[in-house]
């Protein structure tokens, strides 16, 4: 039986729509960070709001980000082979709203959507206002359907002061589910 756009599998006997709503609520309950993902290929640079990021190994130090196939950032990641993760201060939730569409790049002012950036060693942009950051080289790509998981090795890091970091729960936003 087809359930329209709903993504299975469904446990036996459940109402697909009710189950879909419940499953989404539980997925949204997963505690999440909220970051800006900086990508770069050639002259092009982008920053994008992203919550699917986590450390995935200690030796080597690797961090993974999951990015929608249709995003401009996906193309830059595949081409450029690098990314930088900017961690924002807890008061900076407005910045997370600013980067949900491909950003306008002003290379002369070194700004994306009017926000200043620094260029990491890999070439990926780090938000100038970031509290902390990680610069990564992509080591693996895993296709997951709607998204691709990019696993990056940390090649540089900065910040690290004892400052509260923005999380998803500090906003009214959600993603995925
Ligand atoms: C709160 C929030 C979290 C997001 N997290 C992700 C994410 O983890 N992965 C992803 O691919 N898109 C995520 N997005 C969506 C992207 O920010 C959005 O699709 C963006 O338009 C894609 O950017 P790009 O086309 O500039 O690369 C999130 C959006 C919001 C509002």
Nearest CA to ligand 1 atom 20: 100
Among the atoms of ligand 1, which is closest to the Cα of residue 174?
A: 1
- Residue from 30, 24, 70 nearest 48 by CA: 70
Confidence of residue 1 (pLDDT cuts 50, 70, 90): very low
Return the residue matching tokens 């640079």: 45
Return the residue matching tokens 């539980």: 26
State whether the beta carbon of 39 lies less than 6 angstroms from ligand 1.
no
pLDDT at 5: 82
pTM for the predicted model, two decimal places: 0.96
State what percent of residues in the chain have pLDDT above 70.
98
- Residue from 32, 39, 34, 35 nearest 138 by CA: 39
State whether the beta carbon of 71 lies less than 6 angstroms from ligand 1.
yes
Which domains can be identified in the chain, with CATH numbers?
34-170 (2.30.110.10)
């Amino acid at each position: 039986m087809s359930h329209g756009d709903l993504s299975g599998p469904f446990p036996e006997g459940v109402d697909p729509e009710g189950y879909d709503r419940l499953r989404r609520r539980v997925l949204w309950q997963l505690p999440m960070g909220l970051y800006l993902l900086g990508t770069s290929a050639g002259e092009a640079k982008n920053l994008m709001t992203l919550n699917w990021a986590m450390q995935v190994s200690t030796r080597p130090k690797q961090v993974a980000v999951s990015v929608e196939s249709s995003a401009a950032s996906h193309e830059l990641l595949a081409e450029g082979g690098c990314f930088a993760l900017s961690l924002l201060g807890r008061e900076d939730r407005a910045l997370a709203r600013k980067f949900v569409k491909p950003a306008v790049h002003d290379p002369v002012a070194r700004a994306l959507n009017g926000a200043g950036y620094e260029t990491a060693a890999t070439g990926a942009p780090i938000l100038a206002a970031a509290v902390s950051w990680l610069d990564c080289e992509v080591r693996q790509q895993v296709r997951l359907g709607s998204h691709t998981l990019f696993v990056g090795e940390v090649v540089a890091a900065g910040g690290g002061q004892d400052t509260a970091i923005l999380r998803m729960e500090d906003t009214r936003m959600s993603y995925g589910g």
